[in-house]
Structure 1
Amino acid sequence: MVFQYVIAAVMLVLISGLWRLQVVGAQNYREMAEANRIRKVPILAPRGKILDREGRLIVDNYPSVSCFLVRDQGHDIAADLPLIARGLHMTVDQIQEILKRYRTAPKFQPVPLKQDITPDEQGFIEAHLDELPELETIDEERRLYPNDGFAAHLIGYVGEVSEEMLDDPQYAAYEPGDVVGRSGVEESYDAMLRGVDGSRDVIVDSHGREVGVLGTEPAKPGKDLRLTIDLDIQRAAENALGDRNGAVVALDPHTGEILALVSRPVFDPNKFSVKIGREDWNRLVTDPNHPLLDKAIQAQLAPGSTFKIIMSVAGLQEGIAENLRVDCQGGATFYGHFFACDRRHGMVDIHNAIPLSCDTYYYTLAQKLGIETIAKYAHELGIGEKTGVDLPGEVSGTMPSEEWKLRNFHEKWYAGETISVGIGQGAVAATPIQLARALGGIASGGVLKRPHVVFPGELPAYYRQAVQDSYPGSGDVTVPIDASNWEIITEGMASTTEAGGTAFAAHLDGIDFAGKTGTAQVVSHSAGMDKISSSVAQRPNAWFVGMAPRRNPDIVVAVLWQHGGWGNVSAPIAASVIEAYVDKQRRLHHNLVADTSKPVKDVMTKPVEIGAVWSKPPASEAPRGSPVPALAAIDAGHFRLKPEGE
């Protein structure tokens, strides 16, 4: 009987235990068992670095720690939100908003809760591992941009992929929380810079603690990207423009390589590399000066008198301007309306119309050419057309014509409207990069190159084609310009920076510096001129496009100073950039000659061109181990470096 009672008691204990395990605690133990599983921990790939043309670092990465929330722990996350919020210096609403964004994502996918957490926040997570098993930390490398917004518009910034972007087939490979380039080079070359994330398959226990590793798939870092930008020229352009509202573009018209690109006002891309705050974002988007706008490629404004160079090409090529002489008495009447000039220039022809920037001459030339002829040459030279620069957001500007006005306004074109177009006013609108390419191309004998910030030869063929397809434009074109006409125009631009020219204040001794000023009114002629010094908002936009040397230039610089006043105030900005460029080339030449270990050919005695500026071929075109090209000319301290055999 005793044994029977003992057996019965044991059976009762076993039955009650089984009941407790399999019935009463079934759900709890099921969740604990499910939590003992394999978890895939992401290893985030670092983005490729961005370098200048000489391999100097522009954009780097720095080590960072981010906090993720794992939702497949069988744990009541909602109850932990107040504690998590306090420890991570967030609000419960912020966390709930993040969780709402990821409500459709798989449960095993970690949710990025906070990026770039501080040491005290890391300490909080370590101290609460048992209480908050849903919190995980992941090491990653985050973008580190130059201080003070240096080259911000050119470089761009990165940010978390948005819901709108995820709906775009272009971003089909991205997941919520992924970091993607959002502007500038970061956006246009995101696929190269991004890399491929890896992962670790780890075994975790019921508390979410890692107890083993099954395998690791390493991340593949993004590729480094070498730009055509020269840090020395970029720095000179940044300093020259200062805090002025506007833009500077410097490029090599032989190749289309952009040497510097500046836009003002700037923003700090480092604020985007984590996650920009709402207050900072609102400040940027409500600023009337539009700091997020890349004015080098997106500011569509009347080009003013810089357009007279295009008018000169049209007038000379059509056989009208060469023999046209106009008596400027401060303006002239066309179609019953008086069009003013800024002063009385007397008798003007094509040879002094450019350096004097005589409006009356170009009013008359415009009347004789007509809008269709003007539009034809302007379009050929890229006005009203995207250049195809490999940066996102480029705009096309406007070149009016009879067809344009009929299509957009359902009205006929009136002859009187052509007069204003002749001096780059009216409906004409251009960007700084368009003017740099157009005037640099004219000075190069009509050869216009597609501007670019990355060496095409360093891109795979398929990627190079993809870039061209993604950023269409007029590309490489040749506009026929007679040699005699080319000389007249380039001589006129050279005289602009000499005594009597509109940009004489920017004259550079010892440098063959040419260009064209432009004063583009934002109100009527009389009101704009009267309020140069009183109302900033009504001051004209000050343009200048300069180059060195005057023919076949090695560098062309376009400057826009919004509401700067007269165009001549922008000329010294361009002069500073060109002077920095020439000084650097002279230093490089001096070092080249001083280093006798390098194979340098004998210097030829026959000059190629008076005042030519020395330039070296792009690194992308110089094969490794090739001999240093020979100096082809020396004249008055200016040098031109030509490849061997030319």
Structure 2
Amino acid sequence: MARISPLDPNPFDREEKVSTAKLNATQYIVALVMLVLVSGLWRLQILGADNYRVLAEQNRIRKVPVLAPRGKIFDREGRILVDNYPSVTCFLVREQQKNLEADLPLIAQGLHIPEDQIRSTIKRFALAPKYQPIPLKQDITPDEQAFIAAHRDELPELETLEEQRRLYPRDGFAAHLIGYVGEVSENDLNTSKYAFYEPGDVVGKSGVEEAYDAILRGVDGSRDVVVNSHGKEVGMMGQELAKPGQDLKLTIDLDLQMAAEKALEGKNGAIVAMDPHTGEILAMVSRPTFDPNQFAVRLTRSYWNEIITNPNHPLMNKAIQAQLAPGSTFKVIMTVAGLQENMAENMHVVCNGGVTLQGHFFGCDKHHGLVDIHNALPYSCDSFYFTLADRLGIDTIAKYGHEMGIGQKTGVDLPDEATGIMPSPQWKLKAQHDKWYAGETPSVGIGQGAVQASPIQLARALSGIASGGALVRPHVVFPDEISPDMLQAIHDTYPGSGEKKVEISPETWQIVTDDMANVTQGIGTAAEAHLEGIDFAGKTGTADVVSGRKKGTADKATLPNAWFVGMAPRRNPDIVVAVLWEHGYWGNNSAKLGAQVINAFVTKQRMRSGNLMKLADSPKPAAPSDQTPGDKPKTPAANPAGANTAALEPQRGLPRPGAGGR
């Protein structure tokens, strides 16, 4: 204890003195602290009130997506091709404050998926917002739904979502035309085409599904649900309804499609049937096919490996992507070129099994004797067209080939159409850095050499020639099904030579179409495909493969490709068919396939016309009591279903299969 001095009169009156500087400093510090606190409270409670209110709401409100059903797809008569069916998908919600790693074994066991697959899925969505659910498994079974419901308390991160999933025809029917849907991949998301998509979105991957994805997919909605601290849904705050995708009516005729599918069954190749007046695709088949239903849910590795290792390329739409030598079908274009250039009408060639040109012997399969423009096409005499090609020259041949669309995309509204090749000196210099030699030209005249075309290119070329030079743009969706802006976007996305008029004189038009009609008659290479009572014209083609033709060999891969292009009637036709049968040997084999499609089309048209005539000739029913004089009596409509069924019954009177013909 401090000692008090006796000399101090009042020791308790003494004060400790504090410097003024320290006092002022303390006051400023206290004021600054109070200012910071007040400004912080102001920022939190006044300026940031709305923001923190939203964050607080998000702690108890979850946005659940409501997926829009894709639009359905119908054929030209309104018969459904692609439908939707109800499905349930399991999602993983990452907002729950749980150790997901500890739950993975139980989740994997209950959903019957490997743990590594779940980890890979979570990793793929690592950069996605936490509130975005991760799709774990699509199309879950009732047992898996029961597992999720039974483990709701211990696995609150698992949620289910009902959605509409694609249902495609069985057995790969029209698979290449329709296409399929699948989850957008990481590589897709890195491209500008999918800039507005998010991981987990389902998009069209090929065919119509891809080309018209923007209008088929619709607009997703959402539900704002209230959840408790365990993540369990306890109420709903509101919802934004999903907008279903637009339905599409295709130009495809289901009856013709079935006939074409049946004709090509068990074979590799393609068939295209088109209306030359409008460019409407009536049927499109490619073989081998695939099952698009396998892609509608998560694709299995085993099925994917089976598809990609198949040497016949099931995913390729050969109707628009096969680029092969067209063989003698190219002689139709050669005939037009020869007549238009005034070189073929009076030309005569003696065929003794071939001709010698440019110092080389070019062989023909038969000894046709004296050949002129009127029997050269029905005989498919190589000697005549070797000579014609040599006289025309490659520049003139290339000119007419380009005018007919060879070596150019047709502009069909389907993805990944091939361009083909129409060789010329300029093409060879650019592609092979070499000059063109005259000895190469005769092979081009018979559709061999470097010429490459797709079935749809040949169908369009024949359509233009048989229609007097009017070439149209092929399409699989009616233009009035979509808006003008969408139609323009489709044309911009899938450019082609479009609609155009090629100069063909009436004389040339008549000679060419008559010669093609003789192809399916007694002297022609497709005589066995003749259709009694039908004005059926066409041209066969037998195109050697790279390895060369080996007659009598068991190695099917060395057999020639069999082509046929045909139409009915011969001039201004209502239908044109192009057939490719890979390794089908002779072109007349493909002609018999084309005849089946033509016969189905004509039979259906005749039955429909007959039904309408019967209705027109039948007595008019008496006017019902509620009708007033002058009202038009109501008559029953024709039954298209009955006509369609009859058109698809086994065809009678078709020629007996046999050998021969090019």
What's the TM-score, normalizing by structure 2?
0.84
Aligned pairs for 1:289-328 (under 5 A) are: 289-328=312-351
> Are 1:559 and 2:559 matched, yes or no?
no
- CA-CA distance at 1:597 after TM superposition: 9.4
**Residue of structure 1 in register with 2:298 after alignment:** 275
- Conservation of the 8 A alpha-carbon contact between 1:435 and 1:558: yes
> Are 1:585 and 2:608 matched, yes or no?
no
- CA-CA distance at 1:598 after TM superposition: 11
Query: Which whole-Å CA distance do the structure 1 matches of 2:362 and 2:554 have between them?
Result: 24
Query: Which whole-Å CA distance do the structure 1 matches of 2:578 and 2:59 have between them?
Result: 64
Aligned pairs for 1:115-514 (under 5 A) are: 115-514=138-537
- CA-CA distance at 1:596 after TM superposition: 3.3
**Residue of structure 2 in register with 1:83 after alignment:** 106
- Conservation of the 8 A alpha-carbon contact between 1:532 and 1:565: no
Query: Which whole-Å CA distance do the structure 1 matches of 2:310 and 2:609 have between them?
Result: 45
1:374-398 deviation line (CA, Å, top 9, x unaligned): 0000000000000000000001100
- Structure 1 residue aligned with 2:592, among 572, 595, 598? 572
1:204-249 deviation line (CA, Å, top 9, x unaligned): 0011111111001010000000000000000000001111000000
**Residue of structure 2 in register with 1:538 after alignment:** 558
CA separation of 1:271 and 1:597: change in aligned 2, threshold 3 A = farther
Identity, in percent, stands at 68
Query: Which whole-Å CA distance do the structure 1 matches of 2:336 and 2:368 have between them?
Result: 22
- Conservation of the 8 A alpha-carbon contact between 2:248 and 2:481: no
Report the count of equivalent residues: 567
**Residue of structure 1 in register with 2:134 after alignment:** 111
Paired amino acid for 1:147: R
Paired amino acid for 1:364: T
Flag structure 2 segments of 5+ consecutive residues without an equivalent.
1-55, 621-633, 638-662
- Conservation of the 8 A alpha-carbon contact between 2:517 and 2:535: yes
Query: Which whole-Å CA distance do the structure 2 matches of 1:281 and 1:77 have between them?
Result: 30
- CA-CA distance at 1:86 after TM superposition: 0.2
1:74-123 deviation line (CA, Å, top 9, x unaligned): 11111100000000001110000000100000000000000000000000
Query: Which whole-Å CA distance do the structure 1 matches of 2:510 and 2:80 have between them?
Result: 41
CA separation of 1:598 and 1:72: change in aligned 2, threshold 3 A = farther
SS in 1 for 2:616: coil
Query: Which of the pair has more CA radius of gyration?
Result: 2
- Conservation of the 8 A alpha-carbon contact between 1:520 and 1:540: yes
1:268-314 deviation line (CA, Å, top 9, x unaligned): 00000001111111111111000000000000000000000000011
Paired amino acid for 2:524: G
- CA-CA distance at 1:260 after TM superposition: 0.2
Runs of 4+ in 1 over 3 A off after TM superposition: 33-36, 596-600
SS in 2 for 1:364: helix
Paired amino acid for 1:593: M
CA separation of 1:584 and 1:87: change in aligned 2, threshold 3 A = same
Query: Which whole-Å CA distance do the structure 2 matches of 1:443 and 1:597 have between them?
Result: 35
- CA-CA distance at 1:364 after TM superposition: 0.2
> Are 1:594 and 2:594 matched, yes or no?
no
- Conservation of the 8 A alpha-carbon contact between 2:443 and 2:449: yes
CA separation of 1:69 and 1:597: change in aligned 2, threshold 3 A = farther
Query: Which whole-Å CA distance do the structure 2 matches of 1:532 and 1:490 have between them?
Result: 34
Query: Which whole-Å CA distance do the structure 2 matches of 1:362 and 1:219 have between them?
Result: 62
CA separation of 1:145 and 1:443: change in aligned 2, threshold 3 A = same
Query: Which whole-Å CA distance do the structure 1 matches of 2:497 and 2:227 have between them?
Result: 58
Query: Which whole-Å CA distance do the structure 1 matches of 2:467 and 2:492 have between them?
Result: 26
Query: Which whole-Å CA distance do the structure 2 matches of 1:574 and 1:548 have between them?
Result: 11
Flag structure 1 segments of 5+ consecutive residues without an equivalent.
1-32, 601-624, 629-646
- CA-CA distance at 1:534 after TM superposition: 2.7
SS in 1 for 2:308: helix
> Are 1:66 and 2:89 matched, yes or no?
yes
CA separation of 1:511 and 1:216: change in aligned 2, threshold 3 A = same
Query: Which whole-Å CA distance do the structure 1 matches of 2:611 and 2:60 have between them?
Result: 65
- Conservation of the 8 A alpha-carbon contact between 1:544 and 1:558: yes
- CA-CA distance at 1:519 after TM superposition: 0.2
CA RMSD after TM alignment: 1.6
SS in 2 for 1:511: coil
Q: Which moved more, 1:372-381 or 1:168-177?
A: 168-177
SS in 2 for 1:94: helix
Paired amino acid for 2:151: H
